[in-house]
Amino acid sequence: PGSDARAGEHGVPTVIAHRGASAYAPENTLASIDKAAELGFSWVENDVQRTKDGELVVLHDDSLQRTTNVEDVFPGRAPWKVRDFTAAEIARLDAGSWYSPAYAGTRVPTLEQYMRRVERNHEKLLLEIKNPELYPGIEQQTLKLLGNEGWLDRGHLHRLIVQSFSADSVRTVHELKPAVTTAYLGKPSVAQLHRFAGFTDLINPSYTSLTQGYVSTVHAFGGPHDRPLGVFAWTVDDAVTARRAAAYGVDGVITNKPDVVRAALGGD
């Protein structure tokens, strides 16, 4: 097992479109993953949370306020937390107008809708379990949905990575489905790496904290699938930073502007 997002040895990191191609279309919507596909990118990243009535949806913030018109539709419901709204209520919201009038009417996708579009677009997914402390059991529920959609089948596993800022959540995913490629978001110490290498395949730190020495340190560890731990850096949106990350030897670059990173790095 193992995802195919490993280009480190050949020098060109994999480019991952962060929340879709989110510099060019509203983040975490079907439009943003269509845009990534249109630009010729196969890997997209998203954020998964849960509604009041238990539906998995794709949204970054724990509140609907920034990226939808929830304040207009439900004015009395501040602070508009995802977990306080039903899936039917969220389905009424406009998740595109805040970005541009050209995207008016774009919806917050359910994870099921999102997975079907990823499949239709022949894309690959870096799925982030966001705020898992707010959603007990979200790891199991996410894996169940992925399984129902065929994403845990042998032929699909190379197209999927599950990540979280919560080490507990990453470990839970690994324990529930050991064949799934996992990533921990952050920059663990060497002592932590000794533990985390038991359940995570990748370490994904912010580029702001990255050094060449740290990338080499991570690569020296073997992960749960008998491959060296990988490193994806986020969120890199300019050519200079992309080239620096590549020179450090990262395996992937997570970016809102995949075209800018590709132009800087060459390769695909």
Minimum gap (Å) between residue 111 Cβ and ligand G3P: 16
Please say whether the beta carbons of 41 and 15 come within 8 A. yes
The β-bridge relationship of strands 230-233 and 181-185 is unpaired
Q: Does 128 bind ligand G3P (CB under 6 A)?
A: yes
Site for ligand G3P in 64-123 (CB under 6 A): none
DSSP tag of 200? -
Q: Does 41 bind ligand G3P (CB under 6 A)?
A: no
- The position carrying tokens 């995570």 is 200
Minimum gap (Å) between residue 164 Cβ and ligand G3P: 10
Q: Is 18 an annotated catalytic residue?
A: yes
Residue number, 55 or 61, with CB nearest to ligand G3P = 61
The binder of ligand G3P chosen from 146, 185, 203, 250 (CB under 6 A): 185
Residue 234 binds which of Ca ion, ligand G3P, none (CB < 5-8 A, kind-dependent):
ligand G3P
The binder of ligand G3P chosen from 20, 31, 47, 166 (CB under 6 A): 47
Contact window for Ca ion (CB under 5 A) among 116-124, 127-135, 145-153, 171-179: 127-135
Q: Does 237 bind ligand G3P (CB under 6 A)?
A: no
Please say whether the beta carbons of 54 and 137 come within 8 A. no
- Helix, coil or strand: residue 127: strand
Amino acid sitting at position 262: R
DSSP tag of 25? S
- Which of 137, 98, 113, 129 has its CA nearest to residue 33? 113
Residue 118 binds which of ligand G3P, Ca ion, none (CB < 5-8 A, kind-dependent):
none
- Our CA angle for 72, 73, 75, nearest 5°, is 65
Question: What CA–CA distance (Å, rounded) separates 257 from 44?
Answer: 12
Q: Does 47 bind Ca ion (CB under 5 A)?
A: yes
- What the block records as the tokens of 79 is 């602070």
The binder of ligand G3P chosen from 254, 261, 264, 265 (CB under 6 A): 254
Minimum gap (Å) between residue 152 Cβ and ligand G3P: 21
Residue nearest to ligand G3P as judged by C-beta position = 234
Residue number, 60 or 177, with CB nearest to ligand G3P = 60
Residue 198's CB is within 10 A of a number of other CB atoms, namely: 10
The binder of ligand G3P chosen from 37, 45, 242, 258 (CB under 6 A): 45
Residue 52's CB is within 10 A of a number of other CB atoms, namely: 14
Residue 109: Cβ-neighbour burial (10 angstroms; 0-12, 13-18, 19+): buried
Q: Which residues are catalytic?
A: 18, 60
Note the residues at the interface with ligand G3P (CB under 6 A).
18, 45, 47, 60, 128, 185, 204, 234-235, 254
Note the residues at the interface with Ca ion (CB under 5 A).
47, 128
